[in-house]
Amino acid sequence: MGLRNFTRLFDDPVFFKSLRNTAYFAAVVVPLQAGFALILALLVNAKVRGVNFFRTVYFLPVVTSMVVVSLLWTFLYREDGLVNRALSALTLGHVQGPDWLGDPATAMPAIILMSVWQGVGFHMIIWLAGLQTIPAELYEAAEIDGATPWHRFCHVTWPGLRATRTFVLVTITIAAFSLFTQIRVMTQGGPLDSTTTVVYEAVRTGYDQQQTAYAAAISLVFFVLVLTVSLVQRFLTREKD
CA distance linking residue 57 with residue 80, whole number of Å = 27
173-185 pLDDT tens trace: 889 998 999 999 9
Please give the pLDDT value at position 228: 87
Cβ neighbors of 230 (< 8 A, separation 6 or more) are 170, 173, 174
- Region for residue 188 given its phi and psi (left: phi exceeds 0; alpha: psi -120 to 50; beta: otherwise): left
CA distance linking residue 189 with residue 175, whole number of Å = 18
Please give the pLDDT value at position 56: 80
Residue 1 in this model has a pLDDT that exceeds 60: no
CA angle 69, 203, 109 (to 5 degrees): 45
Domains of the chain: 2-236 (1.10.3720.10)
- Supply the DSSP string of 4-44, one letter for each residue: HHHHHHTT-HHHHHHHHHHHHHHHHHHHHHHHHHHHHHHHH
User: Which pTM does this prediction carry?
Assistant: 0.89
Quick one: average pLDDT of 87-108? 88
CA distance linking residue 40 with residue 36, whole number of Å = 6
The total number of residues shown for the chain amounts to 241
First and final C-alpha spacing in the chain: 48
Residue 117 in this model has a pLDDT that exceeds 80: yes
| DSSP label of 194 | T
Query: Which has the closest alpha carbon to 109: 34, 2, 8, 24?
Result: 24
121-163 pLDDT tens trace: 999 999 999 999 998 898 889 888 888 889 999 989 998 998 8
Contact 166, 240 (CB under 8 A): no
* Distance set, CA 212 to CA 62, 124, 193 (Å): 32, 38, 21
What are 67-72's contacts with CB under 8 Å, separation 24+?
67/181, 67/185, 69/114, 69/118, 70/114, 70/181, 70/182, 70/185, 70/186, 71/185
CA angle 224, 4, 24 (to 5 degrees): 40
| DSSP label of 102 | T
* Between 22 and 10, residue with greater pLDDT: 22
Contact 226, 174 (CB under 8 A): yes
Please give the pLDDT value at position 162: 87
CA angle 29, 160, 136 (to 5 degrees): 125
Query: Which has the closest alpha carbon to 126: 67, 168, 94?
Result: 168
